[in-house]
Amino acid sequence: MTARSQDIKAQDLEAASALPAPATARLRWPRLKGFEWFAFGFVALLIAAAVLVDVIPGLARPNFPYGDFSQPPEWSLNGLLGTDPLGRSILSRVLHGARTTLGIVAVATAIALAIGMTAGMLAGFYRGPVERAVDLYANTMASLPPILVILALIAVVGNSVLTMMLALGILDIGVYARIAKGGVIAQNDRDYVLAARAMGASDARILAREILPNLVPALTAIVPPLVAGLIITEGSLSFLGYGIPPPAPSWGGMIASSTDLLSRFPLLVVGPILAIVLTVYSLNTIGDSLARRLNDRNRNL
């Protein structure tokens, strides 16, 4: 699922962000079942491994040879996924690539959330020209292929980690703005908002104290699949050679560097492909689980 296809899911959740409960309502933790246990556990384990990768005992450095070139998998920590054409441990590079990918995507998501939520809440609260400007931006970004947008930005400012973070963040600003705008419009005439206005509360206080807490459940459900889309986009850019410059490990870059040897050593791409597939699957499963719980809560109110 790309960042663009998830825009459709975001539009479906605009209605879900209209919560009739007061700002004190909270999203209860869903009862996990089946593959949801795997999804939550895998993401938690991946984040922990990405954070602690430098202190894992015995793990080889990602850019130094560990064994023979293109060595098949063996029962050892560094040889579990084999080695690449330069003799480096694929498992080590996958884990270090996870830290790189998750770090970039986390910063990009924070940028998109901060700007998108602010713009969307202002658009829904004040309407008029602010709303038209936000809608124009969101619709424009939704109509453009994400890869082309990022490549255009790279061509203007150059390729770097900062450029990648900004470009990925720009892609999702419109999605978060739409969710925020729909939630604010739905709550503008609620009793607790009208009561706050009657008591002389400022617009900033109403947005921050009365409306924003009720947007959090909808955001909780939509963030995981959007993060999954950013991971795919980042991996695609790295595969095309516009991502993290080598020799720094990245999942897409590891796949790209092994394409010439696939006919002889097909196992070279198993590690990074599994990492991408399982991460994206887990994030989408988490998003579906949280969205289902959100819908169940709204029906019970």
For 37-64, how does the pLDDT look when each residue is reduced to its tens digit (9 = 90+)? Answer: 889 999 999 999 999 988 888 887 877 7
Spatial CA neighbour of 146 closest among 286, 287, 6, 283 = 6
Rounded average pLDDT over 279-295: 88
Residue 6 has pLDDT above 90, yes or no: no
pTM confidence score: 0.81
Q: How confident is the model at residue 27 (pLDDT cuts 50, 70, 90)?
A: very low
- Confidence (pLDDT) at 224: 93
At a CB cut-off of 8 Å and minimum separation 6, what does 199 contact?
none
d(CA 273, CA 296): 35
- Confidence (pLDDT) at 18: 45
Residue 29 has pLDDT above 90, yes or no: no
- Confidence (pLDDT) at 91: 87
Q: Rounded to the nearest 5°, which phi and psi values hold at 89?
A: -65, 120
Class for the domain spanning 6-19+32-300: mainly alpha
CB 172 within 8 A of CB 108: yes
Rounded average pLDDT over 134-143: 91
Residues 217-234 have pLDDT tens digits of 888 889 999 999 999 998
Residue 200 CB burial class (10 angstroms; 0-12, 13-18, ≥19): exposed
d(CA 193, CA 205): 10
